[in-house]
Chain A
Amino acid sequence: MWPSLADPYWTASFWVGGITLGLTGVLLVVLFVLKLTAQSRLRQDHRFDRTWQPVLIRAALDEDGVPALPTLRRGDDWRLIKLWVRFQSSLKGSARERLRDLGLQLQCQHRARPLLNSPHRSEQIFGILCLGYLRDESAWPLLVSRLDDVRNSVFIYVAWALLQLSPERASPIVVDQLLRRRDLNVLQASTVLRPFRRVLHEPLLLQLSLHLSLHVARASTNEAPGEPSGTDPAALAWLFRLGLALGLTPTVDTLRPWLQADQPMDLIIGAMRLLQGPEGLEPVRALANHPDWQVRTQVAVALGRLGDSNDVDLLMQLLMDSQWWVRYRAAQSLATTPFVDRAAMQARVSSLPDRYARDMAHQVFLEIPAPSW
């Protein structure tokens, strides 16, 4: 005998089963529609690229002027901006300029602006890149208003676009933002802003000299030795990191206050990394016996980079350090030093009394071939 639907368990099962089946059906229809939409979008993308790619190539490479332009369909703005920006980023020189002229002729500046309000980050970034490549001055206020975007990846492209528009005007604003955003991906920032490194140096050096002035003012009030330098150490350490990533080369005198043993470890290391040229060697050598092994590690690196023949003995001493990283970096510096040839270096290392130093040096010498100069 079949159970009756009047049975509440059967009724519940019936409805649960029915609804599940119905929802599965709806889901399948949605998936089907999504697949069709994606395929249609892909077809339209291919159609657009087939039509416009040769046009952009001819416009970029033909000195004879812009070829006849196909009609842009509704909804093609995003495709045009995407393709145009990709071409711009692949080219340099006169080809890039000719492509810019075409972009202006196609009113890309007006097509790109709405993309900045898109919910999709990629569309926003392409819109920002387009305005930057076009160097359209009227986009300045719009781009400045996006500088405080909480997403660092968007900010960094806004900074790039502003620098494209006016490097001198943009550099202090960009540096101010760079200094505030301490969670920024430094590698990404240095890569994207690479073409503008030089123009960013001036405001960065200005910031560094402000820290120096604060330090001097603090020192002149006769603070006890070992007191903080009068500036925010975290801010200064971040400035050092940014400076390093952007290829800043401050003078030794600007860095000297933070190359003292009583300074916080982050600042000593940051300042040492920024040092260029042999003028910075004396303060570095003086830090070779610093109690913090991370400072000694950086001393080993800095001596390898800047040191002269007088520093080989100091590197030998660091090779016998109690910390593995100090020994490792000292061995790397010894392996690449041009002042002692490899055979002589091997002999000197073999005569060291410390077994760990000898092992480290032999291992690193196997990893790094002798310099060929």
Chain B
Amino acid sequence: MSLKSSSLLIVDDDRLTTSLLEFVFSRQQMTVTALHDGQSASGYIESHDPVDVVLMEVLLPQVNGFELLEDMRRHPTWKDTKVVMLSAKESLADIQRAFALGADDYLVKPIDPQEVLARVGRFFMRRP
């Protein structure tokens, strides 16, 4: 499995960050879906097949990132999806909470697009 032709869901209310990430991952020929609030993401999870990776902001309107992550980990088909949390919140407590809820990675904003790409790419690497 490679980045190419895999699918990514971005959930972030900051449209600038979303546009940046869409550009970065579309260039890798990934199928990218962008949503801007927790409720839409919740609905998406219920009505769609799981994607390969979710990039999700912690602070989201309506349903926050931690709640979404909890929902995802309880969901029968989405529970194994790789989730990278993105946030300007950089306290140890937030990072611990994200990992305790089942996040696979945590990135602090502002973002370095190359770093985000590398972190997501890691999920598709074959170990030697």
Residues of A within 8 A of B (CB): 53, 57-58, 60-61, 86-87, 89-96
Contacts and interface: CB of A to CB of B under 8 A. Distances in A.
A268 B111 CA distance: 40
B24 interface: yes
Contacts of B17: 90
Contact of A57 (B14, B19, B115): B19
A87 B16 contact: yes
Contacts of A95: 112-114
Nearest to B14: A90
Contacts of B16: 53, 86-87, 90
Contacts of A92: 110-112
Interface in B71-109: 109
Contact of B20 (A90, A93, A94): A90
Given A90-B14, A92-B110, A61 B115 contact: no
Contact of B23 (A57, A86, A89): A57
A311 B109 CA distance: 39
A61 B27 CA distance: 10
17 contacts: A57-B19, A57-B23, A60-B113, A86-B16, A90-B109, A90-B110, A90-B111, A91-B20, A91-B110, A91-B112, A91-B113, A92-B110, A92-B112, A93-B113, A93-B115, A95-B114, A96-B110
Given A53-B19, A86-B16, A61 B112 contact: no
B111 A94 contact: no
A58 B112 CA distance: 14
Contacts of B19: 53, 57
Interface of B: 14, 16-17, 19-20, 23-24, 27, 109-115
Nearest to A63: B114
A146 to B, nearest CB: 25
A58 B23 CA distance: 8
Nearest to A91: B110
Contacts of A96: 110
Shortest beta-carbon contacts, A-B, top 9: A93-B112, A92-B110, A57-B23, A92-B112, A90-B17, A90-B16, A95-B113, A90-B110, A91-B110
Contacts of B14: 90
Contacts of A61: 20, 23-24, 27, 113
A53 B114 CA distance: 19
Given A92-B112, A94-B114, 5 more contacts: A57-B19, A57-B23, A60-B20, A61-B24, A86-B16
Given A86-B16, A87-B16, A93 B23 contact: no
